[in-house]
Structure 1
Amino acid sequence: MSTYQQERPGGALECLRARMADELFVSCRWLRDRIRNDPQPQNLVILDVSWASDKDMEEDYHSGHIPGARYFNIMDDNHTEMYPRNLPSAENFTSRAREAGINNDSHLVLYSKSQHGGMFVCGRAWWTFKYFGHKRISILDGGYNQWLEENGDVSTQPRHYSLMGNFTVNIQSNMRVDFDEMVQRVERKDQMIDSRASDKLNLQDPDTYIGNAINIPMSVLVKDYLIRPKEELRTYFTDQKVNLNEPVICYCNSGMSSCSLVLALTYCGAKARLYSGGFNEWRRRRKSSIL
């Protein structure tokens, strides 16, 4: 098992990151201009998806957020010992998305206050909305921290919306790998990425990871809050022997940071899927004969 550890010099930032709205990442400048020109832009829904295991982030939302943003708890469902970061049920997710005023044609812009420019939680939120079939999703590059760095306005007023959305679930089952399929993929030696922090693993002990996984911590995806330029990321992955022309399965402990790896690989044009059960499920259910 290899790991990416050496920091490389950052590439040139892409023209102030003023990316178009139909791209995976949008800049703070782009969002600030949209809000300034139209405080309630049609079909644009800004979601604060901040989450923390030890803090009430909805309460934190009320203490300060991007103007017009709505709070959405991406982790609100039944979590278990086997699945401590469980995916919400389709019924739960549909109800909460509609209550947040999300329509099938809404353009979602996600941000969070989590580490690594918000990527830790935004990756999970992006993957969850994609899994449940939503199409127009962008991530605010740099998250809330970058918004503050660029002197973006902050509001303490919650966004009021009276109309229920018409969001409809359309599960994209091909985005997800379950345990039984993971067993087959390991036997076939398919390529996998473990996104857990390297210091959490014993790289000399195959019992601490799955199959022939490469360790690429999600922290390498971001520099100074911002997602690294696409070509730089492609170089990172290629240097770590990831074949971007072949499917990749990503996992972590319980389906959080690995979503950001799926996001980054998608951004680079690769086909990536999530083993959402992660190592937490694997170590409880694995069979020694396939290791």
Structure 2
Amino acid sequence: MSTNSLVTPQWLIQNLNKVRVLDASYMPAGAYATEHIPGAAFYNFDSAYFKSEYIKFDLYPPEVFQKYLRLLGVNNNDQVVIYSRGAASGMMFASRAYWTLKTYGFTNVSLLNGGLDAWKAAGGSTNAETVKPTLGNVDVRAFNSEILANFEEIPFNHFKENNIDYLDARIPAQFTGQDPLSATYPGTKATGSHVTGAINFPMAEVIGPDGFLSQQEVDEKIAKLGLTPGNQVYVACNTGIQASVIFTALERSGIKAKLYNGSMTELAYRAPEVVNATGN
């Protein structure tokens, strides 16, 4: 079995009957019902997360998410392979589900690089059959605080003295302020477009037409960021989705990072005063 964060369509074709496959497609609505990899259960974002006061895709307590994973048929000894379709060559929503499972302590999980399109291009079949998994037995006990960050722990405006590198995965136009923050967050009192000290690293830097770029290519992109060895790395975006792509890329390159789940959706309304920088 593969222990890599990414598996190829060819690998999955050969091992389809040995793994638990989850389709984490979020958009367009109804895509899973139209076609999916045979045997894949539907990882429904509307069931896996909930909207809280400041966080669009908030995390349920571990005991609640455990019930959901069991409904998807996940067992303790399973290898789970996640895919999606659409944005970022099918990697955006799948990366979010990948990070989520890891956050709940389930580590035997991989992503299908290139998503459903790559699967089909490699000759993989699809169908529209409803999958009703047998109830799984997976145990979920606690959050992994090594990869999950909350608002209270991040010293905004004081990154340098606290040895922090903060990566913002939003598109450059949002980061610089070319696209006003108020266009995404009406009524925000923020005066800037990003937090002071943030480094823009959009997911387009690590994604190509066939999924994640090679590790060598991603390593070269990361090297240009000027990260300080030993610093705590945080990744954020608007809702924690795009940041999941960057989290996955960093992980493959051997860089540990915490994903700030609230991201700009939380900051724009909870602490707009820290969103005080513009430009590059």
Identify the TM-score tier after normalising by the shorter chain.
0.7 to 0.9
Residue 145 of structure 2: which of 161, 169, 173 is its match?
Answer: 173
1:22 aligns with 2:21: no
| Structure 1, unaligned runs of 5 or more | 1-19
CA-CA distance at 1:193 after TM superposition:
0.6
The answer to whether the 8 A contact 1:178-1:277 is kept is: yes
- Letter of the structure 2 residue corresponding to residue 197 of structure 1: I
- Letter of the structure 1 residue corresponding to residue 247 of structure 2: V
Instruction: Tell me the equivalent position of 1:50.
Output: 25
- Letter of the structure 1 residue corresponding to residue 225 of structure 2: Q
1:103 aligns with 2:75: yes
CA shift in 2, pair 1:175/1:289, >3 Å: closer
CA-CA distance at 1:112 after TM superposition:
0.3
Residue 211 of structure 2: which of 214, 218, 226 is its match?
Answer: 226
| Structure 2, unaligned runs of 5 or more | 181-190
1:126 aligns with 2:98: yes
Equivalent residues in 2 for 1:62-73 (5 A)? 62-73=33-44
Instruction: Tell me the equivalent position of 1:91.
Output: 63
- Letter of the structure 1 residue corresponding to residue 96 of structure 2: R
CA-CA distance at 1:245 after TM superposition:
5.0
Instruction: Tell me the equivalent position of 2:186.
Output: none
1:20-48 per-residue CA deviation (whole Å, 9 max, x = no partner) reads 7111100000001123xxxx32xx10000
- Letter of the structure 2 residue corresponding to residue 187 of structure 1: H
**How far apart are the structure 2 equivalents of 1:220 and 1:254?**
18
Seq. identity, %: 26
1:186-207 per-residue CA deviation (whole Å, 9 max, x = no partner) reads 4132211100011223358972
The answer to whether the 8 A contact 1:28-1:141 is kept is: yes
1:284 aligns with 2:259: no
The answer to whether the 8 A contact 1:214-1:240 is kept is: yes
Stretch moving more, 148-157 or 230-239: 148-157
Instruction: Tell me the equivalent position of 2:183.
Output: none
**How far apart are the structure 1 equivalents of 2:15 and 2:159?**
48
1:99-141 per-residue CA deviation (whole Å, 9 max, x = no partner) reads 1111122111000013112221111101110010101010001
Please tell me the root mean square deviation across aligned C-alpha atoms, in Å: 2.2
1:85-104 per-residue CA deviation (whole Å, 9 max, x = no partner) reads 22233233111101111112
> After TM superposition, where is structure 1 displaced by more than 3 Å over at least 4 residues in a row?
203-206, 243-246, 287-291
Aligned length: 261
The answer to whether the 8 A contact 1:116-1:225 is kept is: no
Residue 212 of structure 1: which of 173, 197, 200 is its match?
Answer: 197
Query: TM-score, length-normalised on structure 2?
Result: 0.85
- Letter of the structure 2 residue corresponding to residue 29 of structure 1: Q
**How far apart are the structure 2 equivalents of 1:90 and 1:80?**
16
Instruction: Tell me the equivalent position of 1:236.
Output: 221
1:164-201 per-residue CA deviation (whole Å, 9 max, x = no partner) reads 3333233212222211211x254132211100011223
Query: TM-score, length-normalised on structure 1?
Result: 0.82
The answer to whether the 8 A contact 2:104-2:143 is kept is: yes
